[in-house]
Amino acid sequence: MPAGRPLPSAGQGTPGPCLLAALMGVTLWAAGQAATVPSGSTESFHEEALFKPLANGQVLVHFRFTTLKADPGQDAAGRHFRLFPRSMAELMAAHDLRELDLSLSRGVWREAAMGYHPRLWGSPPGARVQAWFEPESPPAPDHVVQADSVARRWDRLTNALSGQLCASLNFFDATSTLCPRFSFQPAGISPLDHPWENNASAHFQLGYLPRENVCTENLTPWKKLLPCQSKRGLASLLHAAPIHRTNHHSLGLSLRHVCPSGVAHCSHPLLELVQDVTLVFRPHQMPENARDDSASAWSIRSLFGIGLTSACPMAESSQLLFDVTDDLYHLQWPEGVPDRVYEADGRRVRAVHLDHLLERGSSNVIANYRQPVIYGLIPAPRLHAHRYVVGHGQAQGGIVTKITNRHSEPLAVVFLDVIPWYLRTYFHTLRIQTDQGMTIRPHRVDFSPARDRDRPYVLEVVLTLPPQSVSQISIDFEKSILKWLEYPPDANHGFYVSSALITAVLPDRRNFTHIGRYYSTYDQWLESFSITSSNASTAEPRSDRVVRIFTESLLINLPTPDFSMPYNVICLACTVVALAFGPLHNITTKDLRLDVGPEPEGIVQRVKAKVTGILGRSQPLSPPTPAETDPTLEERQ
Amino acid sequence: MSATSLMIPYWLGIALRIYFSSSSASTGLASPDAFNPAQRVEIATPLNAYHRLTEGVALFNQGLDPYSGVLCHEPPLFLKLGQWVQGRRAWAKKIPAFFIMFDLLTAALVGLLARLVVQRLLQRQNEESDSYHKDAAELLLEQTALDSVDFTAQLSYLFNPFLILSSAGQTTTVFDNFFLALFLVAMLKKNRIGACLFLALAVYKSFYPIMLLVPLMVMFMEGSKKSWRQELTTNVLPTLVIFCGFLVGLLWMSYMIMGRNPSFLWATYGFILSVPELTPNMGLFWYFFTEMFEHFRVFFVCTFQINAFIYVIPLAIKLRHDPFLLAFTLIGLTAIFKSYPSYGDVGFYLALLPILSHLFPYTKQLFVVAVMLTVTTVLGPILYHLWIYNGSANANYFFAINLVFGTAQIFLLTDLLFAYLKREFYLINGYKILNQVNESTQKPHARIVLT
Going by pLDDT thresholds of 50, 70 and 90, the confidence category of residue A13 is very low
Cβ-in-10-Å burial (0-12, 13-18, 19+) of A67 comes to: buried
Q: What is the DSSP secondary-structure string of A433-447?
A: EETTSPBPPPSEEEE
Q: Model confidence over B298-335: pLDDT tens digits? A: 999 999 999 999 999 999 999 999 999 999 999 999 99
- Residues in chain B within 8 Å Cβ distance of A601: none
Evaluate whether A186 touches A196 at the Cβ level (below 8 Å).
yes
Cβ-in-10-Å burial (0-12, 13-18, 19+) of B325 comes to: buried
Same domain? For A403 and A322 the reply is no
303-362 in B: which are within 8 Å (CB) of A?
Answer: 304, 307, 311, 314-315, 317-318, 333, 336-337
Cβ-in-10-Å burial (0-12, 13-18, 19+) of B157 comes to: buried
Give the minimum alpha-carbon distance from A384 to chain B in angstroms, rounded to a whole number. 24
Beta strands A43-53 and A317-323: pairing type? parallel
Of B64, B286, B291, the CB nearest to A566: B291
Interatomic CA distance for residues A32 and A18, integer angstroms:
22
Subunit contact A449:B277, Cβ cutoff 8 A: no
Q: In this complex, is the C-beta atom of A600 within 8 Å of any C-beta atom belonging to chain B?
A: no
Interatomic CA distance for residues B57 and B47, integer angstroms:
14
Evaluate whether B290 touches B280 at the Cβ level (below 8 Å).
no
What integer pLDDT is reported at residue A114 of this predicted model?
87
Interatomic CA distance for residues A212 and B116, integer angstroms:
67
Query: Comparing C-alpha atoms, which of A591, A590, A595, A602 is closest to residue A624?
Result: A595
Q: In this complex, is the C-beta atom of A604 within 8 Å of any C-beta atom belonging to chain B?
A: no
- Residues in chain B within 8 Å Cβ distance of A597: 441, 443, 445-446
Give the minimum alpha-carbon distance from A613 to chain B in angstroms, rounded to a whole number. 17
408-427 in A: which are within 8 Å (CB) of B?
Answer: 421, 424, 426-427
Evaluate whether A177 touches A205 at the Cβ level (below 8 Å).
yes
Query: What are the helix (H) ranges across A300-414?
Result: 300-304, 354-359
Q: What is the mean pLDDT of residues B277-300?
A: 94
DSSP, collapsed to helix, strand or coil, labels residue B161 as helix
Give the minimum alpha-carbon distance from A635 to chain B in angstroms, rounded to a whole number. 10
Q: What is the DSSP secondary-structure string of A55-72?
A: TTS-EEEEEEEEEEEE--
Subunit contact A485:B71, Cβ cutoff 8 A: no
Let me know if residue A174 belongs to a domain: yes
Percent of chain B with pLDDT over 90: 75
Same domain? For A390 and A359 the reply is no
Percent of chain B with pLDDT over 70: 96
The maximal CA–CA distance of chain A, rounded, in angstroms, is 131
Evaluate whether B13 touches B158 at the Cβ level (below 8 Å).
yes
What integer pLDDT is reported at residue A512 of this predicted model?
86
**Residue A376 scores a pLDDT above 80:** no
Please, which residues bridge with residue A458 across strands?
A418, A448
Let me know if residue A184 belongs to a domain: yes
Q: What is the CA radius of gyration of chain A?
A: 35
Q: What is the mean pLDDT of residues A266-278?
A: 89
Residues whose CB is less than 8 angstroms from the CB of residue B3 and which lie 6 or more positions away in sequence, other chains included: none
Same domain? For A370 and A391 the reply is no
Please, which residues bridge with residue A103 across strands?
A128, A252
Let me know if residue A479 belongs to a domain: yes
What integer pLDDT is reported at residue A595 of this predicted model?
78
Give the minimum alpha-carbon distance from B110 to chain A in angstroms, rounded to a whole number. 26
CA–chain centroid gap for B56, Å, is 25
ipTM for this prediction: 0.93
For an interface test with A, the pick among B24, B26, B27, B29 (most A C-beta atoms closer than 10 Å) comes out as B29
Please, which residues bridge with residue A367 across strands?
A298, A331
- Residues in chain B within 8 Å Cβ distance of A479: none
Interatomic CA distance for residues B176 and B171, integer angstroms:
10
Q: In this complex, is the C-beta atom of B248 within 8 Å of any C-beta atom belonging to chain A?
A: no
Subunit contact B291:A561, Cβ cutoff 8 A: yes
Q: Model confidence over A171-222: pLDDT tens digits? A: 998 899 998 888 888 887 765 334 445 566 778 899 999 988 888 889 999 9
Of A396, A480, A585, the CB nearest to B277: A480
What integer pLDDT is reported at residue A6 of this predicted model?
39
33-62 in B: which are within 8 Å (CB) of A?
Answer: 39, 41, 51, 54-55, 57-59, 62
Written as one letter, the residue type at A447 is F
Count structural domains, chain A.
2
Q: Model confidence over B198-236: pLDDT tens digits? A: 999 999 999 999 999 999 999 998 777 888 888 888 889
Q: What is the mean pLDDT of residues B252-278?
A: 94
Going by pLDDT thresholds of 50, 70 and 90, the confidence category of residue A147 is low
Give the minimum alpha-carbon distance from B354 to chain A in angstroms, rounded to a whole number. 22
Query: Comparing C-alpha atoms, which of B268, B267, B287 is closest to residue B279?
Result: B287
Same domain? For A318 and A450 the reply is no
Q: In this complex, is the C-beta atom of B87 within 8 Å of any C-beta atom belonging to chain A?
A: no
Query: Comparing C-alpha atoms, which of B39, B70, B395 is closest to residue A558?
Result: B395
Q: In this complex, is the C-beta atom of A388 within 8 Å of any C-beta atom belonging to chain B?
A: no
Sign of CA dihedral B350, B354, B358, B361: positive
Same domain? For A244 and A309 the reply is yes
* Better-scored residue on pLDDT, A153 or B25: A153
Same domain? For A375 and A425 the reply is no
Same domain? For A241 and A157 the reply is yes
Subunit contact A595:B417, Cβ cutoff 8 A: no
Q: What is the mean pLDDT of residues A53-81?
A: 81
Let me know if residue A3 belongs to a domain: no
Least trusted range by pLDDT, from A342-351, A600-609, B397-406: A600-609
Residues whose CB is less than 8 angstroms from the CB of residue A17 and which lie 6 or more positions away in sequence, other chains included: none
Q: Model confidence over A55-68: pLDDT tens digits? A: 778 899 999 999 99
Let me know if residue A600 belongs to a domain: no
Nearest chain B residue to A397 by CA: give it. B30
Q: In this complex, is the C-beta atom of A337 within 8 Å of any C-beta atom belonging to chain B?
A: no
What integer pLDDT is reported at residue A190 of this predicted model?
65
Percent of chain A with pLDDT over 90: 41
Let me know if residue A236 belongs to a domain: yes
Nearest chain A residue to B424 by CA: give it. A592
Evaluate whether B205 touches B78 at the Cβ level (below 8 Å).
yes
- Residues in chain B within 8 Å Cβ distance of A391: 29-32
Q: What is the mean pLDDT of residues B130-145?
A: 84
Same domain? For A103 and A234 the reply is yes
For an interface test with A, the pick among B131, B277, B290, B407 (most A C-beta atoms closer than 10 Å) comes out as B290
Interatomic CA distance for residues A393 and A387, integer angstroms:
19
Let me know if residue A221 belongs to a domain: yes
For an interface test with B, the pick among A433, A453, A485, A588 (most B C-beta atoms closer than 10 Å) comes out as A588
123-162 in B: which are within 8 Å (CB) of A?
Answer: 131, 133
- Give the highest mean pLDDT range of A631-635, B91-95, B147-151: B147-151
- Residues in chain B within 8 Å Cβ distance of A390: 30-31
Same domain? For A285 and A425 the reply is no
Q: What is the mean pLDDT of residues A145-168?
A: 85
Per DSSP (E only), the strands in A290-410 are: 298-299, 317-323, 329-332, 339-344, 347-353, 366-369, 383-390, 396-405
Same domain? For A498 and A523 the reply is no
Of A393, A429, A594, the CB nearest to B389: A393
**Residue A431 scores a pLDDT above 90:** yes
Mean pLDDT, all residues of chain A: 81
Let me know if residue A19 belongs to a domain: no
Of A428, A570, A583, the CB nearest to B414: A583
Report the first-to-last Cα separation within chain A, whole angstroms: 114
Cβ-in-10-Å burial (0-12, 13-18, 19+) of A631 comes to: exposed
Cα angle B435, B440, B442; round to 5: 90
Of B41, B62, B318, the CB nearest to A447: B62
DSSP, collapsed to helix, strand or coil, labels residue A426 as strand
Instruction: Give the DSSP H or E segment for A463.
Output: strand A457-465
Going by pLDDT thresholds of 50, 70 and 90, the confidence category of residue B29 is low
Same domain? For A286 and A411 the reply is no
Going by pLDDT thresholds of 50, 70 and 90, the confidence category of residue A120 is confident
391-450 in B: which are within 8 Å (CB) of A?
Answer: 391, 394-396, 399, 403, 406-407, 410-411, 413-414, 417-418, 421-422, 424-425, 428-430, 433-434, 436-437, 440-441, 443, 445-450
Written as one letter, the residue type at A386 is H
- Residues in chain A within 8 Å Cβ distance of B51: 426, 428
558-587 in A: which are within 8 Å (CB) of B?
Answer: 559-562, 565-566, 569-570, 572-573, 576-577, 579-581, 583-587
Same domain? For A369 and A456 the reply is no
- Residues in chain A within 8 Å Cβ distance of B294: 483, 485
* Better-scored residue on pLDDT, A441 or A34: A441
DSSP, collapsed to helix, strand or coil, labels residue A512 as coil
Share in percent of chain B as helix, strand, coil (round to 5): 75, 0, 25
Q: Model confidence over A503-561: pLDDT tens digits? A: 999 988 888 888 888 888 988 888 887 765 544 444 567 778 889 999 999 999 999 99
- Residues in chain A within 8 Å Cβ distance of B41: 395
Subunit contact A484:B304, Cβ cutoff 8 A: no
Q: What is the DSSP secondary-structure string of A577-600?
A: HHHHHHHHHHHHH--EEEE-S-PP
Q: Is the peptide bond before A138 cis (omega within 30 degrees of 0)?
A: yes
For an interface test with B, the pick among A451, A459, A569 (most B C-beta atoms closer than 10 Å) comes out as A569
Subunit contact B429:A630, Cβ cutoff 8 A: yes
Evaluate whether A551 touches A419 at the Cβ level (below 8 Å).
no
Q: What is the mean pLDDT of residues A60-81?
A: 80
Give the minimum alpha-carbon distance from A127 to chain B in angstroms, rounded to a whole number. 27
Query: Comparing C-alpha atoms, which of A331, A335, A341, A337 is closest to residue A366?
Result: A331
Q: In this complex, is the C-beta atom of A623 within 8 Å of any C-beta atom belonging to chain B?
A: no
Range of the domain at A459: 383-505
Of B58, B437, B440, the CB nearest to A428: B58
What integer pLDDT is reported at residue A137 of this predicted model?
55
Of A577, A580, A593, the CB nearest to B451: A593
Q: What is the mean pLDDT of residues A425-445?
A: 93
Evaluate whether A222 touches A275 at the Cβ level (below 8 Å).
yes
Going by pLDDT thresholds of 50, 70 and 90, the confidence category of residue A34 is very low
Q: What is the DSSP secondary-structure string of B21-56?
A: HHTTSS--TTS--TT-GGG-TTT--TTT-HHHHHHH
Interatomic CA distance for residues B337 and B281, integer angstroms:
12
For the domain that residue A418 is a member of, what is the CATH number?
2.60.40.1170
**Residue A30 scores a pLDDT above 50:** no
Going by pLDDT thresholds of 50, 70 and 90, the confidence category of residue A31 is very low
Subunit contact B422:A588, Cβ cutoff 8 A: no
**Residue A261 scores a pLDDT above 80:** no
